[in-house]
A and B are shown apart, each in its own frame.
Chain A
Amino acid sequence: MTPRAASISLRRDATIELRELVKSFRGQDGPIEAVRGIDIEISAGETVALLGPNGAGKSTTIDMLLGLLAPDAGTISVFGDSPSEAVAHGAVGAMLQTGALIRDLSVRELVAMMASLYPRPMDVEEVLDLTGVSEIADQRTNKLSGGQTQRVRFAVALVSNPELLVLDEPTVAMDVEGRRDFWATMRAFAARGSTILFATHYLEEADAYADRAVLMAHGRIVADGPTTEIKAMVGTRTIRATLPHVDVDVLAELAGVNGAERHGDAVILSCTDSDAAIRALLVAHPGARDIEIAAAGLEQAFLALTGDAAGAPTARPSAAADRLERAHMAARTMR
Chain B
Amino acid sequence: MTSLLYIRLELVRTLRNRRFFILSLGFPLVLYFVIAGPQRHVRDFDSTGISAPLYYMVGLAAFGTMSSMLSSGARIAAERAVGWNRQLRITPLPPRTYLRAKVLTAYMMALISLLALYVAGSSLGVSLQAQEWLKMTGLILVALVPFAALGILLGHLLTPDSIGPAMGGGVSLLALLGGTWFAIPAHGFLHDLAQYLPSYWLVQASHIALGGHPWPAKAWAVMIAWTVVLGVLGARAYRRDTGRM
Residue positions of A touching B, CB distance < 8 A: 66-70, 84, 87-90, 92-94, 96, 98-105, 109-110, 112-114, 116-119, 156, 160, 332, 334-335
Specify which chain B residues have a CB less than 8 angstroms from the CB of A114 in the assembled complex: 91
Q: How far is the CB of A267 from chain B (nearest CB, A)?
A: 48
How many angstroms between the C-alpha atoms of A332 and B82 in the bound complex? 11
**With A69-B243, A116-B2, A116-B5 as contacts: A102 and B79 at CB distance below 8 Å:** yes
How many angstroms between the C-alpha atoms of A28 and B91 in the bound complex? 33
State the main secondary structure of chain A at its contact with B: loop
Pick from B6, B80, B83, B85: contact of A98, CB below 8 A. Answer: B83
Asked whether B46 is an interface residue with its Cβ less than 8 Å from the other chain, the reply is no
Can you name the residue of chain B whose Cβ is closest to the Cβ of A112?
B5
Docked complex: B1-26 residues within 8 A CB-CB of A:
2-6, 9, 12-14, 16-17
Asked whether B92 is an interface residue with its Cβ less than 8 Å from the other chain, the reply is yes
Asked whether B43 is an interface residue with its Cβ less than 8 Å from the other chain, the reply is no
Q: How far is the CB of A120 from chain B (nearest CB, A)?
A: 11
How many angstroms between the C-alpha atoms of A69 and B242 in the bound complex? 9
Specify which chain B residues have a CB less than 8 angstroms from the CB of A94 in the assembled complex: 90
Asked whether B41 is an interface residue with its Cβ less than 8 Å from the other chain, the reply is no
Specify which chain A residues have a CB less than 8 angstroms from the CB of B3 in the assembled complex: 116-117
Can you give 6 contacting A-B residue pairs, CB < 8 Å?
Answer: A96-B83, A100-B84, A102-B82, A104-B13, A117-B2, A335-B241
Docked complex: B196-226 residues within 8 A CB-CB of A:
none
How many angstroms between the C-alpha atoms of A295 and B17 in the bound complex? 51
Asked whether B93 is an interface residue with its Cβ less than 8 Å from the other chain, the reply is yes
Contact across chains for A66 and B6 when beta carbons are under 8 A apart: no
Specify which chain B residues have a CB less than 8 angstroms from the CB of A98 in the assembled complex: 83
Contact across chains for A66 and B92 when beta carbons are under 8 A apart: no
Besides A92-B90, A105-B13, A117-B6, 19 new A-B residue pairs in contact (Cβ under 8 A), listed by A number: A68-B243, A69-B243, A84-B244, A88-B94, A94-B90, A96-B87, A96-B90, A99-B84, A102-B13, A102-B82, A104-B12, A104-B14, A105-B9, A110-B9, A113-B9, A116-B2, A116-B4, A117-B3, A118-B92
How many angstroms between the C-alpha atoms of A100 and B87 in the bound complex? 9
Interface centre among B12, B13, B87 (most CB of A within 10 A): B87
How many angstroms between the C-alpha atoms of A118 and B2 in the bound complex? 8
Specify which chain A residues have a CB less than 8 angstroms from the CB of B84 in the assembled complex: 99-102
Interface pairs A-B: 5 shortest CB-CB: A99-B83, A100-B82, A116-B5, A104-B16, A104-B13
Can you name the residue of chain B whose Cβ is closest to the Cβ of A153?
B87
Asked whether B89 is an interface residue with its Cβ less than 8 Å from the other chain, the reply is yes
**With A69-B243, A102-B79 as contacts: A109 and B9 at CB distance below 8 Å:** yes
Specify which chain A residues have a CB less than 8 angstroms from the CB of B9 in the assembled complex: 105, 109-110, 112-113
Specify which chain A residues have a CB less than 8 angstroms from the CB of B4 in the assembled complex: 116
Contact across chains for B89 and A68 when beta carbons are under 8 A apart: yes
Specify which chain A residues have a CB less than 8 angstroms from the CB of B89 in the assembled complex: 67-68, 87
Q: How far is the CB of A329 from chain B (nearest CB, A)?
A: 11
How many angstroms between the C-alpha atoms of A112 and B10 in the bound complex? 12
Mark B152-175 against chain A: 1 for CB-CB distance below 8 A, else 0: 000000000000000000000000
Contact across chains for B92 and A117 when beta carbons are under 8 A apart: yes
Contact across chains for A116 and B90 when beta carbons are under 8 A apart: no
How many angstroms between the C-alpha atoms of A66 and B91 in the bound complex? 10
Pick from A68, A93, A156: contact of B86, CB below 8 A. Answer: A68
Contact across chains for B86 and A335 when beta carbons are under 8 A apart: yes
Contact across chains for A119 and B92 when beta carbons are under 8 A apart: yes
Contact across chains for B83 and A100 when beta carbons are under 8 A apart: yes
Contact across chains for A332 and B87 when beta carbons are under 8 A apart: no
Specify which chain A residues have a CB less than 8 angstroms from the CB of B242 in the assembled complex: 335
How many angstroms between the C-alpha atoms of A109 and B3 in the bound complex? 14
Pick from A67, A89, A335: contact of B90, CB below 8 A. Answer: A67
Can you name the residue of chain A whose Cβ is closest to the Cβ of B17?
A104
Specify which chain B residues have a CB less than 8 angstroms from the CB of A113 in the assembled complex: 5-6, 9
Contact across chains for A335 and B85 when beta carbons are under 8 A apart: yes
Q: How far is the CB of B157 from chain A (nearest CB, A)?
A: 11
Q: How far is the CB of B48 from chain A (nearest CB, A)?
A: 41
Q: How far is the CB of A10 from chain B (nearest CB, A)?
A: 19
Contact across chains for A66 and B17 when beta carbons are under 8 A apart: no
Q: How far is the CB of B42 from chain A (nearest CB, A)?
A: 42
How many angstroms between the C-alpha atoms of A118 and B9 in the bound complex? 16
Specify which chain B residues have a CB less than 8 angstroms from the CB of A66 in the assembled complex: 90
Q: How far is the CB of B60 from chain A (nearest CB, A)?
A: 27
Specify which chain B residues have a CB less than 8 angstroms from the CB of A70 in the assembled complex: 243
Contact across chains for B6 and A116 when beta carbons are under 8 A apart: yes
How many angstroms between the C-alpha atoms of A114 and B87 in the bound complex? 10
